[in-house]
Amino acid sequence: MSKVADLSTLPAWHAFSQAVKHAMPSSTTPRIIEAAGLRLDLSAQRNSEAMQAAIEQLLEARDFKAQREGLFKGAISNPTEHRPAWHTMLRAPQPIPEVAHERQRVLEFVRRADSERRYRNIVHIGIGGSDWGVRLAVAAFGYAGMWRNIRYVSNIDGHAIEAGLSGLDPHETLVVVATKSFKTAETLENAARALEWLKSANITDPMNQIIGITANPEAARAWGLHDALIFRFWDWVGGRFSIWSAVGVAAGLAVGTNVMAGLQNGATAMDQHFLSAPAASNAPIQMALTGIANRSVLEYGSLNIAAYDSRLANLIPYLQQLEMESLGKSVDAQGNPIQVATGPAVWGMPGTDAQHTFFQWLHQSSRGAPVDFIICQHEDHRWKAHHRQLLAHCLAQREALLKGKTLEQATAECITQGLDPKQAEELAKHQTLPGGRPSNLIVLPRLTPFALGALLALYEHKVFVQGVIWGLNPFDQWGVEYGKQLALDIYAELHDLRSGLSEHDASTAYWIEQFKG
């Protein structure tokens, strides 16, 4: 990655900022982009000819095309760790030989397990990127039932491993240990408890029922895993992109290898769209730049994800990690402060539950937040009336956020409901909505593996574009490391193994003393 200029000093940035401030959402013609079978409706976002021209200039000023090409060719896209960010290679139709080899190994393992009807239970142990993608895929496509039972253990809280193992027959259980470094404290501690659990069942060789998925096979081997049961990915695969790797083996066992292949195919289709579509009709680029407009120009602090499909509940934490771990930075790739706001907080809940939880805040708080509405046009169940209601709620909430309600409209409605003019005027003050609040609508034809894969890749590439424009490195996550280092010291101090390893603030020192023993 070449040296980048301070974004705030670029003429193209000033042109973009001014264009955003003077632009308005499309009021007459829907603004819809089709990409890899998805439809992205940007009609509720600010847009103008001047804004699109500024986007082109901004992309050129950031040497975007070269950086995009480097991403797909395995160039160094993660400069602080001197690595490519080559997750797109994991889903390529004709990948490099080592990726093709590992993909085949995973496929053969799952097929053999299926043909022998082995592993009635799966305990998937991983955290962060080694966890969320598997949960998402299984919840999305295993909701109607699976012949295997899968449980997830991510948290270091002992209740998590207790719940993960409770009631299972160890002789029918496969333990999956997914950790890129094979040093992740939570994962290894939970894996040790799972190994003890297998040993306590007098299984002859417990290691025959544990597989490891890692970029550090040497560490997995040293831990005791058999070579044949170690599946590899590479240090150029960020954890939040690892669903495309062997990390997906548990999902393959739970919902089938066809699901994992479909996810990869959908993501590949979005890759091709991202590579070839002009900027004005390029879904990731347009999502990225409207997101930058909302965050850096209009100063919205967060982004809400409203997935109107209960099967996509795990999409929210998946996207939280993707966006906030990637874009939660305030310095550029050279370590210089970025002079505009970056990386919004990402949060949400499936609709329509969200409407009864926080949509009040979205509609009438002093600021609100942009919303990504996600919905399937067609249902996969037999209750069509339910789906029509779901569609209606999604469209209605989006329209209400955009249109709002004036005091005059609210007053007229109150009078129509039988209130006298004075009562109507008073109540109407509480029923006005400011409107003009931005949103995207992403429509999947239906929830298929292909469509979900395309959706995940859409967000991946959106994040990449935002990293390029802001000038930051979206592929490292140094911010979480300091707390991990402190935790090692505090853990030792809690056990009186060592003391004085770190200088603590008064409160932390007090609680270390309280918690010792």
Can you tell me the distance from the alpha carbon of 338 to that of 466, in angstroms, rounded to the nearest whole number?
A: 13
The one-letter code for the residue type at 77 is S
How far apart CA 196 and CA 179 sit, in angstroms, is 19
Percent share of the chain, pLDDT over 90 = 92
C-alpha closest to that of 438 among 284, 281, 280, 293? 293
Annotated catalytic residue: which of 171, 199, 356, 516?
Answer: 356
Look at residue 4 in the predicted model and tell me its pLDDT: 81
269-290 average pLDDT score: 98
Q: Can you list the pairs that 207-212 forms with residues at least 24 positions away whose Cβ atoms lie under 8 Å?
A: 209/119, 209/170, 209/173, 209/174, 209/175, 210/174, 210/175, 210/176, 210/177, 211/109, 211/174, 211/175, 211/176, 211/177, 211/249, 212/177, 212/178, 212/179, 212/182
463-488: pLDDT as tens digits? 999 999 999 999 999 999 899 989 98
393 annotated active-site = no
Rounded to whole angstroms, how far apart are CA atoms 459 and 40?
A: 12
pLDDT in tens, 396-439: 999 999 999 999 999 999 999 999 999 999 999 999 999 999 99
Secondary structure string (H, E, C) spanning 331-374: ECCCCCECCCCCCCEEEECCCCHHHHCCHHHHHHCCCCCCEEEE
Tell me, what's the pLDDT at 500?
A: 62
User: Cα(326)–Cα(477) distance, rounded to whole angstroms?
Assistant: 7
Q: Confidence class of residue 513 from pLDDT cuts 50, 70 and 90?
A: confident
Per-residue pLDDT band at 27 (split at 50, 70, 90): confident
Q: Is the pLDDT of residue 2 over 60?
A: no
Is-contact 210 175, C-beta < 8 A?
yes
Task: State the pTM of this model.
Answer: 0.97
Dump pLDDT digits (tens) for 345-382. 999 999 999 999 999 999 999 999 999 999 999 999 99
Is pLDDT of 332 > 90?
A: yes
Tabulate helix, strand, coil % of the chain (nearest 5): 55, 15, 30
pLDDT at site 503: 86
Average pLDDT, rounded, for the chain: 96
Percent of the chain with pLDDT over 70: 98
Catalytic residue among 14, 183, 386, 484: 484
Pairing of strands 46-47, 24-25: antiparallel
Q: In this model, does residue 499 exceed pLDDT 70? A: no
Q: What is the pLDDT of residue 142?
A: 95
- Is 325 annotated in the active site? yes
Q: Spot the catalytic one: 102, 186, 323, 325.
A: 325
Calpha distance 291→440 (Å, rounded): 10
Cβ 320 vs Cβ 302: under 8 Å: no
pLDDT band, residue 263 (cuts 50/70/90): very high
- Separation CA 210–CA 284 (nearest Å): 39
Active site residue 356: yes
3-state SS, residue 233: coil
pLDDT single digits (tens) 145-196: 899 999 999 999 999 999 999 999 999 999 999 999 999 999 999 999 999 9
Q: Which of 41-45, 191-195, 449-453, 493-497 has the lowest mean pLDDT?
A: 493-497
Residue 5's pLDDT is 87
pLDDT of residue 497: 64
In this structure, the chain runs to a length of: 517
- In this predicted structure, the answer to whether residue 501 has a pLDDT above a threshold of 90 is no
Is the pLDDT at 498 greater than 80? The verdict is: no
